[in-house]
Chains A and B, each alone.
Chain A
């Protein structure tokens, strides 16, 4: 089926580097000795540990439950013993540590009894969402938004188009490509489940036209369904949610809005496969496909990796050279972040480990002044003016950067990539965003303090008026209740005084 496609502004053509890692079929990575499971692997609230040190856990057993609405539970990827719960280095650019559960595996890899759910078409959407939530599934494309939330369009919202994102536009990464080649029926089955939950009218699986094998596999799996498999032109960042929606539907996701606001929902193809495993077999999300590649890796390839596996185990498995390692990335070269150490674990959103030698990334050149050439604006897939943003971010003019729509920046890195002056533009935008968030928090704090202070003043005022009211009430009680004898005496005195007064005035009047 030919589907009309649209274009988004800008984008860049990048050297793909996909070939390197697609020669081998996907294999399971060996079971690591220790699994390190961060409690925070997704956008939203951290999960909360429900096991303690010394506990025996089985594969698939929930070890941390979701805390809050936007949160996802964590499950044991293999059987073993919880040996530590505490702070360990996690994959985050800051290099900071965060709470993790450490499991020493016993090698038995023994499953906990799994609960299956029968025919999903008999389940109503909320039950499906619950299964997906309990399985700890988050978006496997990168951002890691808990998937069950995106299966709930909200009251009165109609989903016209469900888009399955298999675009994978970042160079080097091929895990979605391999997943589509090898597990296309799983993905299509998962799409069916997601579609059932959303009541989506039409359903598109999108992938870049540089993945012919995956395209063929997906077409074969989708045969007989009305799911459309669509190839989109290879240009980075065609896989960005807003860009993909534009390419496939011609509609634009409103600024600071979501695809659902125009009747579109996007999920990653890996998420669909995970949804299928969860609903059909009751399996929680404990492993994923990922790419281990880069010039530093002897045998670049894709592996099915247990969540929590230390990165170093994977590097050892694929053959690396610590001596020539220039930087170690989680994710691709455009949006991935550099890992501070090789001891961090794989998390649910890890799609790629990219071990770069110095020759993979260009040598550092001096940063030159901006010549306003506009290459950044031409490349920007959201049509921002990156050089103006840079200018104002550099000058710390936070109002101006917001005026130039800083928060529409998706940090794809196209502008930095094309900048002939070698200016790290995205770096400045991140900095500006962080500054604005800090200011915002500061403002909220000040606002809270102000409210507290005003509340205190109000309370003092209220207490004062209450005291005064009590006082007058007592006074009134004293004057208005002549019942007790001392009061009659008082009244008599008052009456006598009044009489005396009247007499005095009479005498005066007589004179």
Chain B
């Protein structure tokens, strides 16, 4: 009797790339619920539209590259890219913003680099940064939290109309719907020599320890991130190092001068800090392989976020910091390995 002789191991865990990616999407749900609660339907519409665009681009590129469609379309990676990008852009962005960003992320940043597993840069962040530097007006028109929009309640159909039709509900102007983000406001006002306390207490967009609504969205992402840690989809190294890097910097300057530098807590719950720490910087494809490498990578992202937020030209910096450190990943991998069992151990003979 002749039998097949495949190589060991002869058992396999049920996990697959798809299940890993889907868990990332599930973990985003608490933050998304908070997002919809505070900012309305815009983000959901953006996400759905981005998913359609991402899968369409992925399919077209796979077909052109003669790759099998089914395993790669169902691997969930395009889905994750689409959702992360859609979360990152302003909720009322016109549809073509989402289209351009997603298409660029999938076609240029992912597929032209070789597709799943081969991209050097986080595709969602490449798409985001492209939009940010190409369309600064649209990308900085952030919707105000719903409770600050007093003139009109923004329903699903209204939002759909704004995003795809470009029109606004009767009697409403865009600047009534939008506002500068808390990070942006703070930055501008500090430059005008106002103290942090003064700014936060006089501007209604600030909440308890971050932006109004934004702090709860961040808390939602934190919850999802902790679930990812619990499920071992991600390791603690990058999030902890990144948060540590950012908080460390924030703490130093806060202690030195609390008038001009907001508290570490504000940094933690503002902008994309927690989304970035758990969902973006942890993208394994573009992060270093060793644990020590990941600690360094995460910490430097945190430091860069603080530096750009505080002294740079953009109010938030997670996307830039991640992309800059993506650049450093090969170098970190080249120099930092893990200590192999028994290496460095002394012989007794």
Contact = CB atoms under 8 A, between A and B. Distances in A.
Physical interaction between A and B? yes
Interface stretch (B149-157, B176-184, B333-341): B333-341
Nearest to A413: B9
A381 B341 contact: yes
SS of B interface (majority): loop
B6 interface: yes
A493 to B, nearest CB: 78
Given A327-B10, A372-B117, A95 B5 contact: yes
A340 B341 contact: no
7 contacts: A95-B5, A333-B9, A338-B7, A362-B14, A418-B15, A420-B16, A420-B20
B140 interface: no
B123 to A, nearest CB: 13
B13 A417 contact: yes
A255 B345 contact: yes
A362 B12 contact: yes
Looking at B10, B71, B343, B346, the one whose CB has the most chain A CB atoms below 10 A away is B10
Contacts, number: 186
Contacts of A328: 3
Given A335-B9, A361-B12, A383 B339 contact: yes
A417 B8 CA distance: 9
Contact of A338 (B4, B337, B349): B4
B173 interface: no
Looking at B17, B118, B337, the one whose CB has the most chain A CB atoms below 10 A away is B17
Given A369-B117, A372-B289, A375-B15, 11 more contacts: A254-B342, A254-B345, A262-B347, A327-B10, A368-B16, A368-B117, A373-B284, A383-B339, A417-B9, A421-B16, A422-B12
Given A340-B3, A369-B117, A334 B71 contact: no
B287 interface: yes
Contacts of A12: 13
Nearest to A261: B347
Interface of B: 1-17, 19-20, 68, 71, 75, 77, 115-118, 232, 235, 284-285, 287, 289-291, 294, 333, 337-343, 345-349
Interface stretch (A33-41, A273-281, A424-432, A439-447): A424-432
A2 to B, nearest CB: 25
A377 B348 contact: no
A379 B104 CA distance: 35
Contacts of A404: 337
A252 interface: yes
Contact of B117 (A262, A365, A370): A370
A157 interface: yes
A336 to B, nearest CB: 6
Interface string A133-177: 000000000000000000000001100000000000001000000
Contact of A14 (B11, B14, B340): B11
A97 interface: no
B289 to A, nearest CB: 5
B5 A408 contact: no
B348 A325 contact: no
A356 B10 contact: yes
Contacts of A271: none
A426 B3 CA distance: 21
B284 A385 contact: no
A151 to B, nearest CB: 17
Contacts of B348: 261-263
Contacts of B232: 375, 378
Given A381-B341, A418-B15, A388 B333 contact: yes
B3 A383 contact: no
Interface string A318-333: 0000100101110001
Nearest to B345: A252
B341 A325 contact: no
A261 B349 contact: yes
Given A252-B342, A385-B337, A336 B8 contact: yes
B3 to A, nearest CB: 5
A309 interface: no
Given A327-B4, A334-B8, A382 B284 contact: no
A115 interface: no
A171 B333 CA distance: 35
A385 B338 contact: yes
Interface string A86-112: 000000010100000000000000000
Given A368-B17, A385-B290, A417 B341 contact: no
Contacts of B17: 368, 371, 420-421
Contacts of A413: 8-9
Contacts of A372: 117, 284-285, 287, 289
Given A335-B9, A378-B235, A387 B289 contact: yes
Looking at B11, B118, B294, B339, the one whose CB has the most chain A CB atoms below 10 A away is B11
A366 interface: yes
Contacts of A120: none
Contacts of A93: 5, 7
A314 to B, nearest CB: 14
B342 A257 contact: yes
B289 A171 contact: no
B19 A420 contact: yes
Nearest to A337: B8
A209 interface: no
A325 B115 CA distance: 38
Given A341-B1, A417-B12, A369 B115 contact: yes
A83 interface: no
Contact of B9 (A325, A421, A426): A426
B10 A340 contact: no
Contacts of A59: none
Contact of B10 (A325, A338, A371, A374): A338
A404 B343 CA distance: 12
Contacts of A329: 10
Given A388-B333, A426-B8, A408 B342 contact: yes
Contacts of B342: 242, 252-255, 257, 382, 408
Contact of A340 (B2, B235, B289, B346): B2
